[in-house]
Amino acid sequence: MEITIDDYFKGRYTFFKWRSETSTLNKVILAFFMACITGIMAQVVIPLPWTPVPVTAQTFAVLIAGILLGRYWGGLSQAIYLGVGIAGVPWFGGMTGGLGVLMGATGGYLVGFVLAALFLGYFADRFVKARNFIPMLALMLFANFALIYIPGMLQLGAWTYVATGSQPSMWTIMVMGLLPFVAGDLVKIGGAAAFAKAVTPKEPFNGD
């Protein structure tokens, strides 16, 4: 069966229109599925000896959650990921779970996941032009380095202070919680922006 470019365009429009108009139950199922994808990708872990924050693949899932599920529901998928993990399911990075992870060195990044997915879902649904590569790249750069890293580094700094008894410098926090991850994040952001451009329809699908 031959698939034409018109079939491809029609298929992606049909999916996004369906997920925009489908029942609340279906949206919850989709959000839970995306939470599971995040949990799976969180197990791709590369520990670094000088910081409690490891390299993981889960931020790619966070970035595309908002794109695939849209406003509110992309954020809900990450809230489900956070809530289920806090309840004890070991699907945070390195097969960990529980409230201790949220209160630990990486808890701020987890909260940032919810913010980033909400932000990207809003723009992807609300603004058709945002679904092209360059605008999406800019939005994802902001979501990743502002909405995830700012709360992440704030909590990392607080955790370090409690653990060591001394206030870490901004440079120390950046070395522990930002700089080692920039190159890898740029690759994930570029891939996620290209994915978003490829899968999203370039015409309104939800009445906006």
Q: Which domains does the chain have, with CATH numbers?
A: 5-199 (1.10.1760.20)
State pTM to two decimals: 0.93
Q: Residue 92 has what DSSP assignment?
A: B
Tally the residues of the chain: 208
- pLDDT at residue 26 above 90? yes
State residue 202's pLDDT score.
87
How does the average pLDDT of the chain come out, rounded? 93
- pLDDT at residue 92 above 90? yes
- pLDDT at residue 40 above 70? yes
State residue 207's pLDDT score.
44
**Residue 34 phi, psi dihedral angles, 5° rounding:** -70, -35
**Residue 141 phi, psi dihedral angles, 5° rounding:** -60, -45
Query: What would you report as the CA-atom Rg of the chain, rounded to the nearest whole angstrom?
Result: 18
Give 80's Cβ-side CA count (13 Å radius). 21
CB-based contact 87:35 (threshold 8 Å): no
Give 196-205 pLDDT, tens digit per residue.
Answer: 999 999 888 7
Q: In a 3-state reduction of DSSP, which class is residue 121?
A: helix
**Residue 128 phi, psi dihedral angles, 5° rounding:** -60, -40
